[in-house]
Amino acid sequence: MGYGFLFNIDACIGCQACAAACAKKNDFFLGFRRVQKYELKYRGKNVVFYYSNSCNHCENPECLRRCPERLYFKRRDGIVIHKMGECRACLTCLKACPYQAPKFNHQIGKVSKCNLCVDETGDPLQPKCVKACPTFALQLVHEDYYQPMAQYYHLPIDTIGKSHITQPSIKIIIPPELQKNGEN
């Protein structure tokens, strides 16, 4: 792994600024990032939070493994890139990704996905979604930064579904009310 997202669900206010910045940057009606509202039962109380998700730049990306045209590759820094220009829109990668990261762009008739904005500078240090987040809930970090942190909460929701297989690079900071007594 290399770069990945660090997401603090306690800090996210669901404002959609990250999703709007992604859509604007990519001139794409949907964009690659989506913010969803979730509600979990914890100790008899409802805990409401927002979760911002796009491509998780997985350690073992299913899109890369399943693309029949071999249009995905993984850079040494962990960023998963899709060679969109050669895409025939077979949609295999859409079906393979448990996070629904690749999207079919109806405007161009091809599949595309988040590339951490590396096309602008070649360096993923300032993705538009991260720059747009007013509460700093979404950050881009290198694995050296987030590995030493104590504990992460893997959300019991569909978007994190097959994390044991794909090993997504996103790390999610545990909200305080779910940290007590180590219960998740």
Phi and psi at residue 50, to the nearest 5°: -110, 150
pLDDT of residue 118 exceeding 60: yes
E strand or H helix at 110, and its extent? Answer: strand 110-112
pLDDT tens sequence across 37-69: 988 777 777 878 888 889 999 999 999 999 999
Does the structural domain 3-182 have CATH classification 3.40.109.10? no
**pLDDT band for position 125 (cuts 50, 70, 90):** low
CB 114, CB 84: distance < 8 Å: no
Q: Where are the domains of the chain?
A: 3-182
Helix (H) or strand (E) holding 36: strand 34-42
| Chain segment 149-184, per-residue pLDDT in tens | 444 554 444 445 566 788 888 888 766 665 554 444
CA torsion sign, 162 to 84 to 114 to 168? positive
**Average pLDDT rounded to a whole number, residues 79-98:** 93
Single-letter amino acid, residue 121: T
Confidence band for 94, pLDDT divided at 50, 70 and 90? very high
Nearest of 80, 106, 78 to residue 93 by alpha carbon? 80
Q: Is 136 exposed, middle or buried (0-12, 13-18, 19+ CB in 10 A)?
A: exposed
CB of 112 closer than 8 Å to CB of 26: yes
Strand partners, 42: 45
